[in-house]
Amino acid sequence: MTTGPRTPGRSAVVVGAGLAGLTAATGLAAHGFAVTVLEARERVGGRTHGIEAAPGVRIDAGAAYLGDRHTELHALAAELCLKTTPTTMLGASRFALTDADADADEQPATSDGRFPPLDAVALGDLFERLAELTDAVRPDAPWLTPDAERLDALTAAEWAERHLTHPDARLFFPLFLGEMCAADPADVSVLHLAFYLRSGGGLRYLNAFAGGAQQDRIAGGAHQVCERLAAPLGTAIRLGEPVRAVHQDDRSVTVHTDRGTYRAEVAVLALPPLLADAIEYRPALPQPRSGERTARGCAVKVHLVYPAPLWRDHGLSGWSVNARGPLLSTVDDSPEDGIGVLTGFVTGAEAHRFGALTPERQRAEAVDQARRLFPMLPEPQGVHITDWLADPYSRGCYAALLGPGDWTRIGPALTAPHRRVHWAGTETSTAFFGLMEGAVRSGRRVVAEVLARG
């Protein structure tokens, strides 16, 4: 990443060293800005995070997947000399879709493909209804969608109660919503649900591996994107400095941390809405970044590490969908050569329950369920649990969940600068909201905004 000559007087403070913040920081540096990046964590990466599963092998504890429509992320990865690897989905799937009151020892079903062994007509009706909502939403401005106020006042749980009559559709809907956006149906408005699906490329694209949004991973882990973006910035990145206040006047903006103050021409805040609202602003924000019903994305990610992807030897893909937790879905995230990594997703209300358990109990539940789904598995070599709900500097994952009233109240001011303060982050992108692609696009947008200030 090249940095151009500094232009006298041009300076920026970027808050947040995730994908959005570092995309903005490197973009501004390339146009001659003196840039300082303030990051609360002791690492860069935000909601991308690589953890060591085996010596020399890193896996994605956070955001992981990308598809062919994620053009900005693909271009950035290529610029940083990073390659992608396909998400392996060869083989049959496993489904444990009996309800919570059924016999816990009932054997999971094996099925070709990813379509669950539930009533096809009922699921077809569910997907048709979701497609109707998705097609009607305005992706560039969801608050201007026809009937937006009614759709934004209604939770997805209330919508399901009114429109889903078949037990199989009622069973599958919260599992689908948890997989798509790590949400409990009671936490999000129907407008947010429809927008999220439309923003991500539509129901089919967002839900697909081959040819869809989950087709590939960054070889070696998505965290490398941020690490390589950060490298040329060097000491301009200050780790372990949570921002407490942002004050501005007609000439500059001053960002306050516990360790010091940083003054610049502009500030870029690349933070989730709940974190942005925890900062003191002078003058005050004209509109909060979140609302009373804005919720944390409900995601806990579990990695079970084995000597090899042993399920493949039995004709299984590693993919499963389960009505009971903790692992509501699993996927094969094994590296191209070597160990086997079965990734489990704990989402929605189950993420809150699981997160309250002791680490020992969490491990036991995850291992026991994996063994029921895939009886050939031995005791795992490692179990890694990443609780994004409990992370104080993310406030959930994949992204913030916009609840009733949020889009119609907050949406119109989503990207509007507050004088010298500009906003980035995947939650500010109306394209690929909640995804890595959305974060990168938001960083690009902010660079254009700042340059347009003159």
Tokens of 68: 């062919």
Is 100's pLDDT higher than 60? no
Is 2's pLDDT higher than 50? no
Tokens of 420: 């010298």
Instruction: For residue 442, count other CB atoms closer than 10 A to its CB.
Output: 30
pLDDT digits (tens, 9 = 90+) for 355-380: 999 999 999 999 999 999 999 999 99
Is 185's pLDDT higher than 60? yes
pLDDT value at position 16? 98
107 — pLDDT class (breaks 50, 70, 90): confident
pLDDT value at position 3? 36
Residue 332: phi and psi, rounded to 5, are -80, 110
Is 153's pLDDT higher than 90? yes
Rg (CA), the chain: 22
Instruction: For residue 157, count other CB atoms closer than 10 A to its CB.
Output: 17
Class of domain 49-114+209-220+298-387: alpha beta
Q: What is the pTM of this model?
A: 0.95
pLDDT value at position 105? 64
pLDDT value at position 337? 78
Amino acid at 327: L
pLDDT value at position 187? 97
| Location of each CATH 3.90.660.10 domain in the chain | 49-114+209-220+298-387
Task: Tell me what the pLDDT averaged over the chain comes to.
Answer: 94
pLDDT value at position 221? 96
Spell out the residues 6+ positions from residue 337 whose beta carbon is closer than 8 angstroms to its own: none
pLDDT value at position 89? 83
| Location of each CATH 3.50.50.60 domain in the chain | 11-47+222-291+413-452
Superfamily (CATH) of domain 11-47+222-291+413-452: FAD/NAD(P)-binding domain (3.50.50.60)
* Record: fold of 119-199: Guanine Nucleotide Dissociation Inhibitor; domain 1 (1.10.405)
Is 101's pLDDT higher than 90? no
Is 446's pLDDT higher than 70? yes
9 — pLDDT class (breaks 50, 70, 90): low
- Overall average pLDDT of the 168-193 stretch: 97
| Location of each CATH 1.10.405.10 domain in the chain | 119-199
Is 8's pLDDT higher than 80? no
Is 4's pLDDT higher than 70? no
pLDDT value at position 7? 42
**Residue-by-residue DSSP string for 136-200:** HS-SS-GGGSTTHHHHHHSBHHHHHHHH--SHHHHHHHHHHHHHHHS--TTTSBHHHHHHHHHHT
301 — pLDDT class (breaks 50, 70, 90): very high
Q: How far apart are CA 384 and CA 394, in angstroms?
A: 18
pLDDT digits (tens, 9 = 90+) for 302-342: 999 999 999 999 999 999 999 999 999 999 999 987 899 99
Residue whose C-alpha is closest to residue 348's, from 191, 214, 188, 182: 182
